[in-house]
């Protein structure tokens, strides 16, 4: 099966318009963050989410806008130095930011710790893991109280740089919960023909996506077009290798969405034509053999 096509709101300008388009087309998830759309994404999503009560909502903690940092500083949540850093995993801040997201969105099914490796610059692995455990502890409190469905990690490079692994994150979640009954339920990472290591690993039966699925986590692939950069690399030969007749965007998303172990692939398509173009392609996933041929060609094999 291909991953479900879901709305990601990073770099989306007209958030409410994109959300109405995606949810009308059947997107099962909306992924956002407090710092998206210059800090306005969550508020713009609220009325649309009210129209679609069954869609699931994922947001994040960690990054914040300059204005949000000033508010946190004024409310005594962050020190001046922490506010200047624009990213925090301190337990008090995680509680504060999660409360604000709940108020802005109305409901939250999944809260990702956003790029925790960013918080680890200058820290050794054990110190970074301690910060992640602190964030997990705060989110575990929300989950145990039934205020969020669960939490996870959305990472750009943490799993590929060696900052942490899926088994380590699961251990930190058990420590945060004080038992094996934790609420660590999701993993988000880049999956594309540019950042294709997760695809190659999954095709060989290993890597973080397979580890996450084996642990029962929901897996999300972010940046399938690599911020739009991939479209310039989608030659007609590559598109035809993936599937003749597709647009460049549909071919790229089909390759990412066919990755074994991936539940959801995030796209920022804002028009119904763009959404339907990709969704149609994803109805017929690439086979393992076809996907191996594509990744092998890109690797020069």
d(CA 261, CA 187): 11
pLDDT recorded at residue 121: 62
Tokens of 261: 């172990």
- Percent of the chain's residues with pLDDT above 70: 98
From 82, 60, 56, 58, select the one nearest 71 (Cα to Cα): 82
The predicted model gives 220-246 an average pLDDT of 95
Tokens of 144: 């145990």
- Which CATH number characterizes residue 177's domain? 3.20.20.100
pLDDT recorded at residue 50: 96
> Is the pLDDT assigned to residue 68 strictly greater than 70?
yes
Contact 11, 23 (CB under 8 A): no
> Is the pLDDT assigned to residue 118 strictly greater than 90?
no
pLDDT recorded at residue 33: 98
Q: pLDDT per residue over 26-56, tens digit each?
A: 999 999 999 999 999 999 999 999 999 999 9
In three state form, how does the secondary structure of 86-142 look?
A: CECCCHHHHHHHHHHHHHHHCCCCEEEEECHHHHHCCCCHHHHHHHHHHHHHHHHHH
Residue with tokens 């390759």: 255
The predicted model gives 139-164 an average pLDDT of 97
pLDDT recorded at residue 270: 78
d(CA 125, CA 121): 10
- Percent of the chain's residues with pLDDT above 90: 92
pLDDT recorded at residue 119: 67
pLDDT recorded at residue 70: 97
> Is the pLDDT assigned to residue 256 strictly greater than 70?
yes
| Coil, helix or strand at residue 151 | strand
d(CA 230, CA 109): 30
| Coil, helix or strand at residue 231 | helix
Contact 294, 193 (CB under 8 A): yes
> Is the pLDDT assigned to residue 99 strictly greater than 90?
yes
- Residue 90 backbone zone (phi > 0: left; psi -120 to 50: alpha; other: beta): beta
Name the domain count of the chain: 1
**Neighbour tally for 229: CB within 10 Å:** 11
| Coil, helix or strand at residue 48 | helix
CA distance to 60, 217, 243, 252, per residue, from 195 (Å): 22, 21, 20, 12
pLDDT recorded at residue 1: 65
d(CA 27, CA 270): 12
229 vs 121, more confident: 229
pLDDT recorded at residue 35: 97
pLDDT recorded at residue 269: 85
- Domain extent at residue 67: 4-299
pLDDT recorded at residue 13: 87
**Neighbour tally for 57: CB within 10 Å:** 22
């Amino acid at each position: 099966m291909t991953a479900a096509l879901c709305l990601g709101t990073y770099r989306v300008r007209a958030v409410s318009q994109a959300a109405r388009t995606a949810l009308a087309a059947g997107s099962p998830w909306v992924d956002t963050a407090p710092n998206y759309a210059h800090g306005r994404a969550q508020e713009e999503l609220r009325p649309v989410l009210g129209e679609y009560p069954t869609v699931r909502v994922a947001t994040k903690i960690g990054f914040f806008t300059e204005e949000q940092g000033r508010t946190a500083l004024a409310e005594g949540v962050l020190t001046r130095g922490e506010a200047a850093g624009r990213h925090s995993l301190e337990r008090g801040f995680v509680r504060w930011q999660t409360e604000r997201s709940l108020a802005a969105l109305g409901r939250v099914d999944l809260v990702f710790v956003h790029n925790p490796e960013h918080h680890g610059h200058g820290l050794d692995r054990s110190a970074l893991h301690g910060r992640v455990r602190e964030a997990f502890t705060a989110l575990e409190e929300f989950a145990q109280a039934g205020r969020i469905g669960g939490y996870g990690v959305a990472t750009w490079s943490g799993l590929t740089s060696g900052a942490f692994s899926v088994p380590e994150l699961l251990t930190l979640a058990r420590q945060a919960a004080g038992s094996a009954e934790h609420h660590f339920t999701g993993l988000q990472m880049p999956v594309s023909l540019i950042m294709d290591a997760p695809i190659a690993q999954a095709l060989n039966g290993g890597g973080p996506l397979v580890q996450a699925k084996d642990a029962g986590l929901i897996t999300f692939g972010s940046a399938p077009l690599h911020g739009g950069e991939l479209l310039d690399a989608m030659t007609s030969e590559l598109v035809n290798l993936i599937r003749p007749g597709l647009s460049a965007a549909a071919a790229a998303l089909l390759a990412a969405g066919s990755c074994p172990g991936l539940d959801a692939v995030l796209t920022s398509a804002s028009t119904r034509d763009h959404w339907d173009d990709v969704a149609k392609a994803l109805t017929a996933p690439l086979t393992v053999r076809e996907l191996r041929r594509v990744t092998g060609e890109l690797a020069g094999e």
